[in-house]
Amino acid sequence: MLKKQWRLMVGLLLVLALVASACAGDDAAEETTTTTEATTTTTEATTTTTEAVEETTTTEPEETTTTTEAIPRADADLVIWADDTRTPIFEEFGRVFGDENGISVAVQEIPAIEEIDDRVIQAAPVGEGPDIFISANDVLGGLVANGVVEPLDLTAVADDFAQGAIDAFTFAGQTYGLPYAVENIALIRNTDLVPDAPATFDELEEIALGLVEAGEVEVPLAIQQGEGAPYHNFPLFTAFGGYVFGTAEDGSYDLTDIGLDSEAGLAAAQAFAAWGESGLMDWDVTYDIMLESFGNGTAPFAVTGPWAVPNFENVNFVVEPIPPVLGGATRPFIGVQGIMVSSFAENPLIAQTFILDFLATQEAQEAFFAADPRGPSHKGVLAGLADSDPNLAGFAASGADGIGIPNIPEMGSVWTPWTDAYQIILQGGDAEAAFRNAADQIRTAVAG
Amino acid sequence: MVDRTDVTEDPPSGPGSAENRGERSPRFSFTPAFVLKLLFLAAVNGLAIAGLPAMLDQGWWPGVASVVVSTVFIDYVYLSRRTVPAKYLIPGTIFALIFQVIPVVYTGYIAFTNFGTGNILTKDQAIERAESLYSSVPGSQRFQLSILASEDGEGELALLLTDEAGNRFFGTAAGLEALAPGEVVIDDAGKVLSVDDFVALNLGQISDRQDELLSLEIPSELGLVRPITATTAAVYNRLYEYDAQTDTLTNLETGEVYTPVQGNFTSAAGESPEDIPGWSVVVGFDNFKRILTSEAIRGPFLRVFVWNYVFAVLSVVLTFALGLLLAITLNHPTLRGRRVYRSLLIIPYALPSFMSALIWRGLLNQDFGVINELLGANIAWLNDPWMAKVSVLLVNLWLGFPYMFLISTGALQAIPDELKEASYVDGASPRQAFRQVVFPLLLVTLAPLLIASFAFNFNNFNVIYLLNSGGPPIEGAQTPAGHTDILISYTFRLAFEGGRGQDFGLASAIALLIFIMVAGVSAFSFRRTRALEDLT
């Protein structure tokens, strides 16, 4: 009697369990293998011709600040990870590509582009990563060191793209990504307050401080300090001949040659101390204060990138290169975004076909540009820019002689010491000692 | 089968009720609660079954075994009548395992590895990466490509290559041969259909035979012809070759030989190629040795360590003092509007602390912040080393006192008034009554919570990092550190903002050390608390 009941029960359980597991599907598998992680805001749209894969949109409780929860790979031949701006483009071109060739393409939206590289590093080696993903060039070295990105032979399309953008995705002699956007900072001038462009940075300082003294403005130069200081101060730093890492004979970076305590770097340190002293630069200007002060006309100049421009619609302004400092040209950091293939891709050949045959075209590159007007990397798109968008043309002019952010993983140990050094300098500390110490800190960190 | 009358006679009150019905004949009765239990068990089993294929795929046998054993055990416990205690113990045990034991054990394991940027793969994966690297032959041309296969697309793979001059070549794993124009069957659109019995593959078929295609290398005079995309091919050379016998990797261009050292292929000169990844290995006590011996890490360590204790202790003392004071005040029965006050006081507690910290960061901004504007002052709240410490403590006080207020109110209300009255009868002043009767009783209840609060604040990363990023920086420090950095934020800087990226091994080692410190302080405090309990 008892035995019979047990058998019935076990049988029933098994049936129910099978039903439940069928319903749970892949997500359940994910939950059991990675116990503490859960799916978050995944928007996947799957298009296909051979089979009908439903469109699913799951939105679960929003993310907290620091945890990155795993997003399991979508079920399709070709899986793409992109941010919200780029997702519709990949969906559109993926649909055409999939329809033509009878394969299924899924695009998964990752909340922010800055998160994608870390997520790929976590997910790819365990087979949960995408075939294709987008990221910025400054994380390339880390991706290569971790072995999660596949070389992408760009020779066939290289002539259509700006050389600097391709260089940004070159690491140890191999190219790894198809660039689609280039961005850098420039000087933004309020044309009501300052009708004529200053010819030199000294002139800019004079005008700006004069306006503050006259009580017309509150912030002489809205240049973001705090966390982004090394990035935003870099053009002024380069005007003295400063650099981050020196280059060895074979063109690779020399990690023992740190530009901060070079003669040029120390001269720059003195200049920053002087600008801090005169009140031109202020450590307390954060990104928000930069946006607010220039946006409401209480700052005559701002130094920022195309991402901030939408906040400036209440003032008249032009975008132009930062004027030279004591005759030295200002060269901003160039950041490049690109499309890469995971080395753990399930379909690398199809992924490369999609990128090189479908996304390297002017039509696709124009779609990337239209979705988020940052500087294009495609020469054909770039050509029509001056007429269509003077602001972007201004950013492009500023970045014409820019310097690619070093894409080696060691760049990660530069930002914090350098930020600390700028804080010490702008708050009246010993400028040369600050840069010397930062260079030592970087050397120690790089040496491990 | 289902005894209906049984259900109506004896409606169960919960999942556990079936067991309590004593000596009845053993039988499963399909009450609603039982069906619910069954559904729950089905879900558990379903999860296990859904998870198994992935584990079987990866051949992770310990995982498979533990899932099977634990699932069967759970089924048995909840279906049997003889396992009442286990029914109550199991959920707690499972959650303790998942959320406490496994993370601690895993952190402990990672602390003894070099896991981090450049060392995240397994050795096999790293070798596979190295062997799949090719260098393109300089100046070599590109071919238009059609991918073909014999036997209706199921058999041997072949590449049909067309160079820029229009010459056609037919390549298989055996080699490359020139083709006469007539041998290729082309449709009206110029698309290649077949060569002999080799037919063109579509992208779907190519996708299915991806792995074969990627390992297909067609030898030619210039090098190896390989597909770049489904429609183009080029000539490449292999970059690395791994020899399993000697466990070495050779660069085929330079002839340099690399041997594995601590999870990286390393040359005799001690250099590792930057285009191939390392892998994660157990490195013993290396991470701990680095913490203890590295000049860079030790440099600011002591200052950070001392401030960490000061911060945690002062945070607890200040929040408790303010919370208790308010609790006593608002506990006074004659005070009007106590509820309103109490609700208002809990607001800082109800806001997410990371939001509050960011808001305070803006308020305390020296030149543009609201606080200096209101005071008409120019106080360097976050930029001066001492003021920054004060600011951190003040913000943490603001964030933390409502919790202390809540628990103090609760504890105060639990102390019978008679005790206080009795002490008055014995001639105690109100102050004496509080100090010698109420406060010790209060501590008996609250001491464990205060210890927990200490442990929490010892690792209060949110407040430190979001308010001021640990700043202002310590001038002349060997490694970047700030005047308000505590161990956990200092660790974050070391492990995630220095070196080559992320160093999980080092971070875990420091986390273990912090764990030991906090556990030590807590154990000591709990022993002291037990002495308090003897008072009552």
Q: Using the 8-state DSSP alphabet, how is residue B239 labeled?
A: -
Phi, then psi, of B526 in degrees rounded to 5: -65, -35
The answer to the question of residue B425 being in a domain is yes
Q: Is residue B270 part of a domain?
A: no
The alpha carbon of A255 is separated from its chain's Cα centroid by a whole number of angstroms, namely: 23
For range A89-109, the mean pLDDT:
91
Say whether both B94 and B181 belong to one domain.
no
The set of residues, in sequence order, having a beta carbon less than 8 Å from that of B334 and lying 6+ positions away, is none
Indicate whether B220 and B312 sit together in one domain: no
Residues B402 and B509 in one domain: yes
Q: Do B42 and A289 touch (CB under 8 A)?
A: no
Question: By residue range, what is the domain housing residue B164?
Answer: 134-238
pLDDT band at A9 (very low <50, low <70, confident <90, very high): low
Sign of CA dihedral A388, A391, A393, A395: negative
**Do both B164 and B70 map to the same domain?**
no
Whether B17 is covered by a domain: the verdict is: no
For A103-154, what is each residue's pLDDT tens digit?
Answer: 899 999 998 888 899 899 989 998 889 999 999 998 999 999 999 999 999 9
How far A344 CA sits from the closest chain B CA (Å)?
A: 9
Residues of B in contact with A72 (CB under 8 A): none
A157-201 confidence digits (pLDDT tens): 889 998 888 989 999 888 999 999 999 999 999 999 999 999 999
Q: Which residue of A has its CA nearest to B273?
A: A172
Q: Which of A289, A225, A294, A223 is nearest to B370 (CA)?
A: A289
Whether the pLDDT of residue A24 is over 60: the answer is no
Inform me whether the pLDDT recorded for A212 exceeds 90: yes
Residue B49 C-beta-side C-alpha neighbours within 13 Å: 19
Residue B497 placed within a domain = yes
Residue in A17, A283, A347 nearest the CB of B45:
A17
Q: How many domains does chain B have?
A: 3
pLDDT value, residue A352: 93
Rounded Cα distance between B528 and B522, Å, is 10
Q: Which residue has the higher pLDDT, B448 or A234?
A: A234
Q: Mean of the pLDDT values across residues A387-406?
A: 87
Burial classification of residue B178, based on how many CB atoms lie within 10 Å of its CB (0-12 exposed, 13-18 middle, 19 or more buried): exposed
Check B228 against A413: CB less than 8 A apart. no
Q: Say what angle helices B295-330 and B385-414 make with each other, to 10 degrees.
A: 40
Same domain flag for B330 and B195: no
d(CA B389, nearest CA chain A) in Å:
17
Does A156 sit within 8 Å of B214, measured CB to CB?
A: no
CB pairs under 8 A between A and B: 252
Q: Which of residues 331-350 of B touch A (CB under 8 A)?
A: none
Is residue B282, in this structure, part of any structural domain at all?
Answer: no
Element (H, E) at B8: helix B4-9
C-alpha angle B227-B231-B235 in degrees, rounded to nearest 5: 35
Q: State whether B349 and B386 are in the same domain.
A: yes
Residues B101 and B143 in one domain: no
Smallest Cα distance from A115 to chain B, Å: 14
Round the CA-based radius of gyration of chain A to a whole number and report it.
Answer: 26
Name which of A21, A412, A448 is nearest B46 (Cβ-Cβ).
A21
Among A277-281, A416-420, B335-339, B376-380, whose mean pLDDT is lowest? B335-339
CATH classification of the domain holding B469: 1.10.3720.10
Are B372 and B475 in a shared domain?
Answer: yes
Cβ atoms of B319 and B397 closer than 8 Å: yes
**Cα–Cα distance measured from residue A278 to residue A246, given in angstroms and rounded to the nearest whole number:** 31
Distance of CA B385 to the CA centre of its chain: 32
Other Cβ atoms within 10 Å of A15 Cβ, number: 11
Shortest Cα distance, chain A CAs vs residue B1, angstroms: 10
pLDDT tens digits, one per residue of A38-83: 333 333 333 333 333 333 333 333 333 334 566 778 888 899 999 9
Q: Which two tokens stand for residue A153?
A: 């032979």
Answer yes or no: do B493 and B525 share one domain.
yes
- The nearest CA of chain A is from the CA of B175 a distance in Å of 21
Consecutive H or E run containing B192: strand B192-195
**Smallest Cα–Cα separation from A180: which of A308, A366, A306?**
A366
Cβ separation B500–A410 shorter than 8 A:
yes
* Cβ-Cβ contacts under 8 Å, A285 against chain B: 367-368
A-contacting residues in B 99-118 (Cβ below 8 Å): 99, 102-103, 117-118
Residues B501 and B367 in one domain: yes
Helix (H, G, I), strand (E, B) or coil at A44: strand
User: Is the four-CA dihedral A292, A293, A298, A301 of positive or negative sign?
Assistant: negative
Q: Are B50 and A32 an interchain contact pair (Cβ–Cβ within 8 Å)?
A: yes
Give the residue on B whose Cα is nearest the Cα of A287. B362
Burial of B25 (0-12, 13-18, 19+ CB in 10 A): exposed
Q: Do the chains contact at B125 and A410, CB–CB below 8 Å?
A: no
Q: State the CB neighbour count (10 A cutoff) for residue A51.
A: 8
Whole-angstrom CA distances from B192 to B141, B146, B168, B174 are 21, 7, 11, 22
Query: Which residues from chain B sit within 8 angstroms of residue A121, using beta carbons?
Result: 120
Yes or no, beta carbons of B117 and A146 under 8 Å apart: yes
Q: Do A347 and B133 touch (CB under 8 A)?
A: no
Please tell me the predicted confidence (pLDDT) of residue A62: 34
| B41/B145 same-domain check | no
* B72 vs A contacts (CB less than 8 Å): none
Mean pLDDT of A381-386: 78
At B401, list the tokens: 């006192």
Going from the C-alpha of B494 to that of each of A373, A440, A445, B326, the distances in angstroms are 37, 15, 9, 40
Contacts (Cβ under 8 Å, ≥6 apart) of A223: A232, A233, A281, A285, A290, A302, A303, A304
Q: Do the chains contact at A416 and B54, CB–CB below 8 Å? A: no
pLDDT tens-digit readout, B96-128: 888 888 888 999 999 999 998 889 999 999 999
C-alpha distances in angstroms, A320 versus A313, A390, A399?
Answer: 17, 10, 10
Q: What CATH number is given to the structural domain containing B61? A: 1.20.58
For residue B271, tell me if it sits in a domain.
no
Sheet strands side by side (includes A317-320): A221-223, A301-304, A186-190, A317-320
Going by pLDDT thresholds of 50, 70 and 90, the confidence category of residue A230 is very high
Which residues have C-beta within 8 Å of that of residue A381, sequence separation ≥ 6? A362, A365, A366, A369
CB contact under 8 Å between A9 and B278, yes or no, is no
> Phi and psi at residue A196, in whole multiples of 5°?
-110, 140
What ipTM goes with this model?
0.79
Own/partner contacts of A59-65, CB < 8 Å, gap of 24 or more, are A63/A111, A65/B354
Residues A143-157 as b or e (16 or more Cβ within 10 Å = b): bbbbbbbbbbbbebb
Q: Which two tokens stand for residue A111?
A: 């909340």
Whether chain A has a CB inside 8 Å of the CB on B298: the answer is: no
φ, ψ for residue A345, nearest 5 deg: -60, 145
Using the Cα atoms of residue B301, residue B304, residue B308 and residue B314 in order, give the sign of their dihedral. positive
Tokens of B434: 């509080």
- In-domain check, residue B122: no
Token pair of B529 as six digits: 């608390």
Picking from A144, A153, A416, the nearest residue to B498 by CB comes out as: A416
Q: Give the pLDDT band of residue A390 (cuts 50, 70, 90).
A: confident
Give the whole-angstrom CA distance, residue A227 versus residue A231: 9
φ, ψ of residue B74 in degrees (nearest 5) = -65, -45
By C-alpha distance, the chain A residue nearest B51 is A29
Q: How far apart are CA A187 and CA A398, in angstroms?
A: 8
φ, ψ (nearest 5 deg) of residue B243: -110, 110
Cβ pair A2:B276 closer than 8 A: no
- Closest CB to B207: pick one of A148, A172, A347: A347
Which of the 8 DSSP states describes residue B420? H
Q: Which residues in chain A touch residue B232, judged by CB atoms under 8 angstroms apart?
A: 156, 356
With 0-12 / 13-18 / 19 or more C-beta atoms within 10 angstroms meaning exposed / middle / buried, residue B8 is exposed
State the pLDDT confidence band at A16, using cuts at 50, 70 and 90.
low
Whether residue B499 and residue A352 make contact (CB cut-off 8 A), yes or no, is no
Torsion of Cα atoms, B407 then B409 then B410 then B413, to 10°:
160
DSSP structure string for B315-362: HHHHHHHHHHHHHHHHT-TT-TTHHHHHHHHTHHHHS-HHHHHHHHHH
Is B234 contained in some domain?
A: yes
What are the residues whose beta carbons fall under 8 Å from the beta carbon of B69, sequence distance 6 or more? none
Of B197, B213, B238, the residue at which a domain comes to its end is B238
Extract the tokens encoding A174.
């191999």
For residue A287, the surrounding DSSP H or E stretch is helix A287-295
Residue A26 has pLDDT above 60, yes or no: no
Q: Count the alpha carbons within 13 Å of A301 in the hemisphere toward its beta carbon.
A: 29
Residues of chain B scoring pLDDT < 50: 1-25
Here the tokens at position B300 are: 């600011």
Quick check: A173 and B493 CB within 8 A?
no
Same domain, B335 and B457: yes
Nearest residue on chain B to A156, alpha-carbon basis:
B142
Helix axes B504-535, B102-111, angle to 10 degrees: 130
pLDDT at A3: 57
Please name the residues between 460 and 479 in chain B that touch chain A, using a CB distance below 8 Å.
Answer: 469, 471-473, 475-479
Last residue in a domain, options B202, B221, B238: B238
